[in-house]
Structure 1
Amino acid sequence: MRSTMSRRGFLAAGSGLAAATTLPALAGCSTLASADSDPDTLVVHSQLGTTAPGSPTYLSALNAFRDENPGLKVKNLVNGDDLAQVYETSRLARKEPDVVMVNLYDKTLAWTDVGATVDVLGYMDDWGLRKRVLPVALDAWTDGKGRLRAFPYFATNWPVAYNTALLRKAGVDEIPTTGDQLISAARKLRAKGIAPVTVGGNDWTGQKLLAQIIQTFLSPDEARKVFTSGDFSGSRGAREGIEYFAALRDAGVFADKAQGLTSDTMTTQFNTESAAIESAMSSALAKVPQKVARHTEVGGWPLAPDAAHTKPTILRTYTLIGFWISPNGTKKLDAVEKFVRFMYREDTVSRFIKESGRDMALRSDTLSTDFPLVAEAQKLGTDVSQALLPDIYVPPAATQPLITATSTAFTRGTSPAKVRSVLEAAYRTA
């Protein structure tokens, strides 16, 4: 039988029957066993530490922090996509880590509201760190009640990468900037046996590109309303954006069977030059082999006539990773302050930019010179228009159903009305 316990109840529960019945089943959880209550041990939970972009720099910076603070032990817990779930489990047992490094997305949207993490605005000001943060990043991490969910850290640019060598091979001399040019380029690429736009139509990469294309005829305010409400039929701009997406899809713009592809497939196809175009965030751009990067340019997604945007669009977000403070972390504020201050230092920030090709939500004049496509994306500026990344507006419970709906949307022949229907059903499921 499905539990009727809300997320608020789950995260807030820490005693009584809920804790008593849950804890025995959690005894083998490594995070619970590792969440040290020693006041001289700072416990950090992060997605950095294995293969995630920026992991080598982070681990090196962590060692430097240890060297500078010999009396403070630091325990680094690492999880991948399951980090949010693991953290929530440890929070239920009141054995959560002190600092959590994760993005603002899906489950984490609810954390501050339900007390799983704390408002850090006061700490930001007390520690004098506000001036280090880009104002747009502060806005993005602040909820509707004025609470700062976490200390902003990683950001990302999300342009479109074009392999100009493959385009030229197919007889396409210029990067397409309109839908008609993109369709023409796709036909020429297919004639040469080259996939046009590769995309993970079965995961979050496809979800983001679909959301970007839907916004072709939407202003930012209109887009916020649509992605908050899930009403894709009641908005004329959303209807037209979905029609534009379906027209591109059925004209063969996307790689074959895009509805079954993943982000890994997408990056492999682009990096091995079996596909000519991909919508790629900074971490993917940093992984493009040098021999491919030399003949790759970044730009925006091509526009339809009468679009709401005046230039091809890209996505940007400043909510990729932040430093969240847990209730346990408030008991070790001296250690937490030292850690956040160290990570906010210009020399530490510059290392992530130079060594790992990361975009940052903090002020810095450093460019990712060893990652030319990342640096090129950082300099796009007014050459492109920015579409809205919907992550902080989509209700958390709708996130995964929207990915399922995305796969249906990328299935050739699916009508615009059907696409609207499955998108709206994802919100009703939530």
Structure 2
Amino acid sequence: MRSPLTRRGLLAAGSGLAAATALPALSGCSALAAADSDPDTLVVHTQLGTTAPGSPTYLAALDRFRKENPGIRVRSIVNGDDLAQVYETARLARKEADVVMVNLYDKTLAWTDVGATVDVKDQLDAWGLRERVLPAALDAWTDARGRLRGFPYFATNWPVAYNRSLLERAGVDAVPTTGDALIAAARRLRAKGIAPVTVGGNDWTGQKLLAQVIQTFLTEDEARHVYTTGDFGGRGVREGIDYFVALRDAGVFADKVQGLTSDSMTTQFNTRAAAVESAMSSALASVPQGVARHTEVGGWPLAEGAAHDRPTIMRAYTLIGLWISPNGVKKLDHVEKFVRFMYRPDTVSRFIRESGRDMALRSTTVSSGFPLVAAAQRLGSDVSQVLLPDLYVPPTASQPLITATSTSFTRGTSAARVRAALEAAYRSA
């Protein structure tokens, strides 16, 4: 696969990338001024710091780090979903931040390959941090050549949240565990004016749920092949698409779901307008206490003949990691202090207690203030785990898959058209 992180590739990736003047102002400095030549200034580029879950804890952690390390100044640059784009442009000018806190997905999959970030495997061992990381997280962050792309940090459980109170109001006595039961529940909910399953059919949340439903008839190895190659023609994949289409056309998903986003989904569930949502940890943590009291977490209902014997969930260990840039290598002593501080058990525990974050690191702390997050952590033999496709989808196919997702969630779209839309997303790669 050709890497997207070349000057030609970046400038073709989207309007505004050709000139630094098109970049947003970030925390009082432009992106191309991000790298500070002062050897005593550590520059951290992160998605935390505004409204992202865990931001207050992160800002408090920065304050503690500064107090404990008075000789190190820390400049924090904050971006949202455009972080990868902004970082890549800064890297082309050799003015990137020293440490980057972002997830392993889409463009970032190629960063180590093209030298935008460095392999940190030696640092993990030299700094004595290997035992702090969950083995599954190390596996996820290690590429096919054995390079550790970043220090794993945030993880997530991704179950399905069911509002029992709304189900009971509609006369549904139990959380559905089969497709037939889900369809029957959806009909009852609609009769009471309640949306059944809400999801962002026009963004990444819908993409993930679609992938989850498609995997109903796939083993993990088969799913890995599908999402690596874009081959949606196998029998199990076609059965999964058929199952998705049957659920969709039976009215299981909220009205106009193809236009909804993750924010729409969260609002509908949290305001009791919808009874069910596919919710990762950060969404579970945001559920108001009054709704959480009546919510049960479980898996996605199965169809007859499924490859799984229990309803399915997803788990991931790639939500946010600490990446080291080439500029960061020049300040490795400061970077080491920062990474060690972020890996400290007390820092990790605060993210769990205060923000309800799942971590890719070992900890005995429980999200007691976030009961649904804690409940998802306890899901064991009651559910089966399917593959989160992020590590296997080619970066250039990620955004086209969002478009294909919206098409797929549009009622009346045939299974053949869904399959064609998914395969077309890969042809652009």
Instruction: Bin the TM-score by the shorter chain.
Output: over 0.9
How far has the Cα of 1:310 moved from its partner?
1.1
How far has the Cα of 1:12 moved from its partner?
11
Q: What amino acid does structure 2 have at the position aligned with 1:58?
A: Y
Work out whether residues 158 and 280 of structure 1, in 8 Å CA contact, stay in contact via their aligned partners in 2. yes
Specify the SS of the correspondent of 2:366: coil
| Distance in structure 2 (CA, Å) of the matches to 1:88 and 1:61 | 26
Question: Is 1:407–2:403 an aligned residue pair?
Answer: no
Question: Is 1:148–2:145 an aligned residue pair?
Answer: no
How far has the Cα of 1:382 moved from its partner?
2.0
- Aligned partner of 2:198 in structure 1 is 198
How far has the Cα of 1:33 moved from its partner?
2.0
How far has the Cα of 1:420 moved from its partner?
0.3
- Aligned partner of 2:55 in structure 1 is 55
Q: What amino acid does structure 2 have at the position aligned with 1:121?
A: K
Specify the SS of the correspondent of 2:330: helix
Q: What amino acid does structure 2 have at the position aligned with 1:243?
A: D
Work out whether residues 11 and 114 of structure 1, in 8 Å CA contact, stay in contact via their aligned partners in 2. no
| Distance in structure 2 (CA, Å) of the matches to 1:362 and 1:12 | 35
Unaligned runs of 5+ in 2: 11-16
- Aligned partner of 1:17 in structure 2 is none
1:24–1:364 distance in 2 versus 1, CA, 3 Å: closer
Q: How does 1:289-368 map to 2 (within 5 A)?
A: 289-368=288-367
Q: Deviations over 1:155-178 (max 9, x none)?
A: 000000000000000000100000
Question: Is 1:263–2:251 an aligned residue pair?
Answer: no
Work out whether residues 201 and 262 of structure 1, in 8 Å CA contact, stay in contact via their aligned partners in 2. yes
1:27–1:243 distance in 2 versus 1, CA, 3 Å: closer
- Aligned partner of 1:117 in structure 2 is 117
Work out whether residues 142 and 148 of structure 1, in 8 Å CA contact, stay in contact via their aligned partners in 2. yes
- Aligned partner of 2:6 in structure 1 is 9
| Distance in structure 2 (CA, Å) of the matches to 1:254 and 1:385 | 22
Work out whether residues 163 and 291 of structure 2, in 8 Å CA contact, stay in contact via their aligned partners in 1. yes
- Aligned partner of 1:16 in structure 2 is none
Specify the SS of the correspondent of 2:318: strand
Work out whether residues 155 and 320 of structure 1, in 8 Å CA contact, stay in contact via their aligned partners in 2. yes
| Distance in structure 1 (CA, Å) of the matches to 2:126 and 2:97 | 22
- Aligned partner of 1:422 in structure 2 is 421
- Aligned partner of 1:220 in structure 2 is 220
Specify the SS of the correspondent of 2:193: coil
| Distance in structure 2 (CA, Å) of the matches to 1:297 and 1:12 | 45
RMSD: 1.6
Specify the SS of the correspondent of 2:64: helix
Work out whether residues 161 and 299 of structure 1, in 8 Å CA contact, stay in contact via their aligned partners in 2. yes
1:28–1:188 distance in 2 versus 1, CA, 3 Å: closer
Work out whether residues 47 and 101 of structure 1, in 8 Å CA contact, stay in contact via their aligned partners in 2. yes
| Distance in structure 2 (CA, Å) of the matches to 1:322 and 1:24 | 26
| Distance in structure 1 (CA, Å) of the matches to 2:279 and 2:192 | 23
How far has the Cα of 1:6 moved from its partner?
6.2
Work out whether residues 35 and 327 of structure 2, in 8 Å CA contact, stay in contact via their aligned partners in 1. no
- Aligned partner of 2:373 in structure 1 is 374
1:27–1:177 distance in 2 versus 1, CA, 3 Å: closer
1:331–1:91 distance in 2 versus 1, CA, 3 Å: same
Specify the SS of the correspondent of 1:363: coil
Work out whether residues 34 and 90 of structure 2, in 8 Å CA contact, stay in contact via their aligned partners in 1. no
Work out whether residues 120 and 147 of structure 1, in 8 Å CA contact, stay in contact via their aligned partners in 2. yes
Work out whether residues 12 and 115 of structure 1, in 8 Å CA contact, stay in contact via their aligned partners in 2. no
Work out whether residues 4 and 107 of structure 2, in 8 Å CA contact, stay in contact via their aligned partners in 1. no
1:94–1:295 distance in 2 versus 1, CA, 3 Å: same
Q: Deviations over 1:354-400 (max 9, x none)?
A: 00000000001111000000000011122111110000100000000
Work out whether residues 195 and 255 of structure 1, in 8 Å CA contact, stay in contact via their aligned partners in 2. yes
| Distance in structure 2 (CA, Å) of the matches to 1:257 and 1:360 | 34
1:250–1:322 distance in 2 versus 1, CA, 3 Å: same
1:25–1:272 distance in 2 versus 1, CA, 3 Å: closer
Q: Deviations over 1:51-102 (max 9, x none)?
A: 0000000000010001000111111100011000000011000000000000
TM-score (norm 2): 0.95
Q: What amino acid does structure 2 have at the position aligned with 1:217?
A: F
Q: Deviations over 1:252-298 (max 9, x none)?
A: 00001111111111110000001000000000001100000000000
- Aligned partner of 1:210 in structure 2 is 210
Q: Once the two structures are aligned, what percentage of the paired residues are identical?
A: 77
Q: What amino acid does structure 2 have at the position aligned with 1:252?
A: G
Q: How does 1:165-204 map to 2 (within 5 A)?
A: 165-204=165-204
How far has the Cα of 1:9 moved from its partner?
2.8
- Aligned partner of 2:13 in structure 1 is none
| Distance in structure 1 (CA, Å) of the matches to 2:214 and 2:140 | 21
Unaligned runs of 5+ in 1: 14-20
Q: What amino acid does structure 1 have at the position aligned with 2:7?
A: F
Q: What amino acid does structure 2 have at the position aligned with 1:141?
A: W
4+ residue runs of structure 1 moved beyond 6 angstroms?
none
